Chain A
Amino acid sequence: MATSLDTLLADHLLSAIVFLPLATVLLLALADGLFRLPETIWRYTALASSLVGLLLALALWQRFDPASSGMQLVERAEWIPSWGIHYSLGIDGIALLLVALTSFLLPVVLLASWTDIHARVKSYLFFMLALQTGMLGAFLALNLFLFYVFWELMLIPMYFVIGIWGGPRRIYATLKFFIYTMVGSLLMLVGILVLAWLHQSQFGSPSFEYYGANGGTGILDLSIPNAGGPWWQRQGFLFGVFALAFAIKVPMFPFHTWLPDAHVEAPTPGSAVLAGVLLKLGTFGFVRYALPLFPQAALDFAPWIVGLAVIGIVYGALVAWVQSDLKKLVAYSSVSHMGFIVLGLFALNPQGVSGAVLQMVSHGVSTGALFILVGMIYERRHVRELDAFGGLAQAMPVFAAFFAIATFSSVGLPGLNGFVGEFLILLGAFQTLPGATVIATSGVILSAVYMLWAMRRVFFGPLANEANKTLVDLGLREKLVAVALVIPMIWIGVHPSTFTNPMDRAVTELLETMTRRGADLAAWQGRDAADEPRLAAEAELETSR
Chain B
Amino acid sequence: MTEHENTALRWIPLLPLIAAALSGAWLVFGRRALPRVAVIALACGAPIASFAIAVVQVFKLALETALPPDAPYYSDNLYTWISAGDFHAELAFLLDPLSAVMVLVVTGVGSLIHIYSVGYMDDDHREDRGFQRFFAYLNLFTFSMLMLILGDNLLVMFVGWEGVGVCSYLLIGFWYLDDANAAAGQKAFVVNRIGDFGFLLGIFLLFWSFAQAGLPTVEFREMSANVGLLAERTVALPGWLSFLPGFPTWGLLTLACLCLFVGACGKSAQIPLYVWLPDAMAGPTPVSALIHAATMVTAGVYMVCRMSFAYSLAPGAQATVAWTGALTAFFAATIGLAQTDIKKVLAYSTVSQLGYMFLAAGVAAYSAAIFHVMTHAFFKALLFLGAGSVILGMHHQQDITKMGGLRRRMPVTWATFLVGVIAIAGVPPFSGFFSKDEILLAANQAHAIPGHQALWAIGMATAFLTAFYMFRLYFLVWSGESRADHHTQASIHESGKWVLVPLCVLALFSVIGGFFGLPDAYGDLFGVQRSNSLHHFLQPVVHSAEHEISHATEFRLAALTTCVGLAGIALATVMYFWRRDLAAKLAAAIRPLYALVRDKYRIDELYDAAIVRPLRALSSSLLSRGVDQGLIDGLAVNGTAKLVRASADGALKYLQSGFAQSYLVAMLLGGVLLVAWLVRGS
- On whether A and B touch (CB less than 8 Å), the answer reads yes
A→B interface (CB under 8 Å): 176, 180, 254, 256-258, 315, 318-319, 321-323, 349-351, 354-355, 391, 393-394, 397-398, 401-402, 408, 413-415, 419-420, 423-424, 426-428, 430-431, 435, 437-438, 441-442, 444-445, 448-449, 452-453, 456, 459-463, 479, 494-497, 500, 504, 507, 527, 535-536, 538-540, 542-543
- Distance between B621 CB and nearest chain A CB, rounded to angstroms: 9
A452 close to B163 (CB less than 8 A): no
A-B contact pairs, 23 of them (CB 8 A): A180-B637, A254-B636, A257-B632, A319-B619, A322-B619, A322-B623, A323-B624, A350-B86, A391-B176, A391-B177, A397-B27, A427-B87, A444-B197, A448-B189, A452-B186, A453-B186, A459-B176, A462-B179, A497-B83, A504-B84, A538-B214, A539-B214, A539-B229
B182 close to A408 (CB less than 8 A): no
Contact partners of A257 in chain B: CB under 8 A: 628, 632-633, 636-637
Inter-chain CA distance A323–B619, complex, in Å, is 10
Within B217-234, which residues are at the interface with A (CB < 8 Å)? 225-226, 228-229
- CB-nearest residue of chain A relative to B214? A539
A322 close to B620 (CB less than 8 A): yes
B656 at the interface (CB under 8 A from A): no
Contact partners of B212 in chain A: CB under 8 A: 527, 535
- CB-nearest residue of chain B relative to A449? B190
B636 close to A427 (CB less than 8 A): no
Inter-chain CA distance A453–B615, complex, in Å, is 14
Inter-chain CA distance A355–B84, complex, in Å, is 8
Contact partners of A428 in chain B: CB under 8 A: 84-85
Inter-chain CA distance A302–B229, complex, in Å, is 32
Binds A, one of B201-209, B303-311, B363-371, B596-604: B201-209
Inter-chain CA distance A435–B235, complex, in Å, is 13
A536 close to B214 (CB less than 8 A): yes
Inter-chain CA distance A349–B637, complex, in Å, is 35
Contact A442 to B197, CB < 8 A, known contacts A319-B624, A437-B204, A539-B214: yes
Partner of B193, one of A315, A423, A448: A448
B173 close to A318 (CB less than 8 A): no
Contact partners of B628 in chain A: CB under 8 A: 257, 319
Contact partners of B412 in chain A: CB under 8 A: none
Inter-chain CA distance A437–B201, complex, in Å, is 9
- CB-nearest residue of chain A relative to B207? A427
Inter-chain CA distance A391–B182, complex, in Å, is 10
B578 at the interface (CB under 8 A from A): no
Partner of A461, one of B176, B203, B225, B624: B176
B438 at the interface (CB under 8 A from A): no
Inter-chain CA distance A495–B177, complex, in Å, is 36
Interface residues as binary, B189-203 with A (CB distance below 8 Å gives 1, 0 otherwise): 110011011001101
B179 close to A456 (CB less than 8 A): yes
- Distance between B114 CB and nearest chain A CB, rounded to angstroms: 22
Partner of B624, one of A322, A438, A540: A322
B675 at the interface (CB under 8 A from A): no
Contact A542 to B197, CB < 8 A, known contacts A350-B84, A351-B85, A496-B81: no
B29 at the interface (CB under 8 A from A): yes
Inter-chain CA distance A536–B618, complex, in Å, is 49
- CB-nearest residue of chain B relative to A391? B177
- Distance between B385 CB and nearest chain A CB, rounded to angstroms: 27
Contact A354 to B85, CB < 8 A, known contacts A318-B623, A460-B173, A462-B177: yes
B158 at the interface (CB under 8 A from A): yes
B554 at the interface (CB under 8 A from A): no
B177 close to A497 (CB less than 8 A): no
Q: A430-B201, A500-B82 are in contact. List 18 more A-B contacts (CB 8 A).
A: A257-B636, A349-B85, A350-B86, A351-B87, A354-B85, A401-B28, A414-B158, A414-B159, A414-B162, A415-B163, A420-B82, A445-B190, A445-B197, A448-B189, A459-B176, A479-B29, A538-B214, A539-B226
Inter-chain CA distance A540–B213, complex, in Å, is 10
Inter-chain CA distance A462–B178, complex, in Å, is 6
- Distance between A508 CB and nearest chain B CB, rounded to angstroms: 8
B80 close to A321 (CB less than 8 A): no
A444 close to B200 (CB less than 8 A): yes
Contact partners of A413 in chain B: CB under 8 A: 162-163, 166
Q: Which 7 A-B pairs have the closest CB atoms?
A: A350-B85, A539-B214, A460-B182, A461-B179, A430-B204, A414-B159, A318-B619
Within B15-51, which residues are at the interface with A (CB < 8 Å)? 24, 27-29
Partner of A319, one of B79, B81, B158, B623: B623
B183 at the interface (CB under 8 A from A): yes
B447 at the interface (CB under 8 A from A): no
- Distance between B111 CB and nearest chain A CB, rounded to angstroms: 23
Q: Of residues B83, B85, B179, which shows the largest number of chain A Cβ atoms within 10 Å of its Cβ?
A: B85
B616 at the interface (CB under 8 A from A): yes
Inter-chain CA distance A438–B197, complex, in Å, is 9
B83 close to A397 (CB less than 8 A): no
